[in-house]
Amino acid sequence: MKSMIQWAAIAALALTASSLRADSGKEMTIKGEGKCLKCALHKSEKCQNVVEVKKGDKITTYFLVGDVSQGFHKNLCSGPADVTVTGVCEKKGDKLEVTVAKIAKTEAK
């Protein structure tokens, strides 16, 4: 029984790592809730845009970088908003960073 649990844990880690690599290095469009990492999530000393994408119970956080993201920050620092982001995603350490080419607010469903 113990070995089955160990194998299940290894398989789960492998699937998580491969799904993160699948996002890395290619242009993508994501839709989710844009927030300020400092003001809304209280996880940083400095303001930074992030997008949280929910799939079931899992939340994936994309850290937005670049001039386009910085120019849009005033829209997220005052409060969360549904956004659509297009850019190139790369895995940096344990974070997924998107160099933003385009970002816009979207209507909530």
CATH architecture assigned to 2-105: Beta Barrel (2.40)
Rg (CA), the chain: 16
| Predicted local distance difference test score (pLDDT) of residue 17 | 46
| Residue whose pair of structure tokens reads 């620092």 in the numeric block | 77
- Reported pTM: 0.76
- Across the chain, mean pLDDT equals 85
d(CA 106, CA 81): 8
Please choose, from the candidates 72, 76, 84, 64, the residue with its C-alpha nearest in 3D space to the C-alpha of residue 40.
76
User: And the tokens for 32?
Assistant: 């989710």
| Predicted local distance difference test score (pLDDT) of residue 25 | 77
Task: Please state the rounded mean pLDDT for residues 60-67.
Answer: 96
Task: Please state the rounded mean pLDDT for residues 32-53.
Answer: 95
The 10 Å CB-count burial string (b at 16+, else e) for 79-104 is eeeebebebebeeeeeebbbebeebe
Contact 71, 108 (CB under 8 A): no
| Residue whose pair of structure tokens reads 């880690």 in the numeric block | 13
